[in-house]
Amino acid sequence: MSPVAVAEVVTTKVVTTKEELEELRRKLEEQRRQGQSAAPPEGAPAEGRLTSWSDDVNGLVQFLQDLKEIMRFLIRDRLPKTPRELFEQCSPTVETQMDIAIAELKQIDSENHEIYIKLRDADLTGNPLKLKLREFWRRIRTSPVSAVLKTADRILGSLFPILATLEPVKEFKETLEERLENDGDAGLQSLNITGREQWWRQAE
């Protein structure tokens, strides 16, 4: 089965049981292995060089990975035990959906890829994306939880119509945001997510 075919199976699967979640993870891992063993796509940048489209993809992938880490931290360290348990039960499915979205982004192999064109139409490429990413990572270092999650909303809100698997992620994040809105958040800055501004520093 080709990586694209696997992606179609993975992204259309609706998880309702623990067994289905494990199967979804297995298929995602299979897709990752196939992607690693496949030859570089025609027109892909040479090793050590990045084109603008690959910068955009890498930025969005890093955003999703960092958002996953932030939500893990907030659930683990900021919620009382009783409400935390249900968030923790829902979290694996949400993280799997984020992994699927990351896998879909990594399929982009040129600025003419269908997903990349949709990202461009949604202002999720070039300078508009640089600005959103810069402000998201800056908020992590300087702002309260609610501001960080609201900044993430600007990117997720544009992403989930393109990558449908992210819609439940956005809903989960908003539920967590509502739960934490009036709580303290000094611990957020201890995440020490640094070095994320690389190529978009020029937008400062």
For residue 31, which of 54, 11, 46 has the smallest C-alpha distance?
11
Query: Alpha carbon of 190 to those of 73, 81, 142, 194: distances in Å?
Result: 10, 21, 11, 11
**Which of 146, 132, 144, 151 shows the shortest CA–CA distance to 197?**
132
Q: Which helix (H) or strand (E) holds 155?
A: helix 145-159
Q: Which residue has the higher pLDDT, 40 or 87?
A: 87
Of 119-123, 136-140, 155-159, the one with minimum mean pLDDT is: 136-140
pLDDT reported for residue 76: 87
Does residue 40 surpass a pLDDT of 60? no
Q: Are 11 and 165 within 8 A, CB to CB?
A: yes
Model pLDDT for residues 74-131, shown as the tens digit of each residue: 888 888 888 889 999 999 999 999 999 999 999 999 999 999 999 999 999 999 999 9
Least confident of 24-38, 50-64, 65-79, 88-102: 24-38
pLDDT band at 38 (very low <50, low <70, confident <90, very high): very low
The tens digit of pLDDT for each residue in 2-26 reads: 444 444 434 434 444 556 556 655 6
